Amino acid sequence: MANAYFLALTLLELIKPISDSGGVPTMAFPLAFVVGVSMIKDIFEDRKRHKQDNEENLRPASAVERGARNLKSMKTHEIKVGCIVKVKENEFFPCDLLLLNSSIPKGICYVETKNLDGETNLKHKQAQKSILKLAKSEDDIFNNFTGALIECEQPNEFLYKFQGNLTL
């Protein structure tokens, strides 16, 4: 908004009858300098973010492709909706996941979300009881969820709200 204000003042400077500078846009150079420095800073930040995204997308993950029955190593960018993903303790989550089960009793897991919201405390998550009954072992997961259909909302800015349906 500040840049828009100074742009308006620069344009008003071009009108001789109301200008202090006799129609010469004296604020144009400082405004161009500030906007140019901001653009250069944004370019460096975008390149850094792009590099981090590429590193994240090329990170390996253990997953089962939709319709397959064997766990294999794949890049996180290859994971699609419907893939079954196995996440081990202290591993990064490669994507949004529906928790089927956990090695902790009652399907409980703890998730650190500092990359998303900056909070370092662990969030308590628990698998839904109806899903937990069908996912007691890896074989149960392959048998019961390989043909599952997942319908979910498009990506959005809400970190703690999710709408979706799992059809078995």
pLDDT tens for 107-124 read: 999 988 887 777 888 888
Note whether 59 and 92 are within 8 A (CB): yes
Q: DSSP letters along 44-103, please?
A: HHHHHHHHHHHHHHTSEEEEE-TT--S-EEEEGGG--TT-EEE--TTPPP-S-------S
pLDDT tens for 43-80 read: 999 999 999 999 989 999 998 887 777 889 999 999 88
Q: Percent of the chain scored above 70 by pLDDT?
A: 100
| DSSP assignment letter at 121 | S
pTM recorded for the entire structure: 0.68
Closest by CA position to 163, among listed 149, 153, 154: 153
Determine the Cα–Cα distance for residues 152 and 97; give it in Å rounded to an integer.
11
Can you read off the two tokens belonging to residue 65?
């492709």
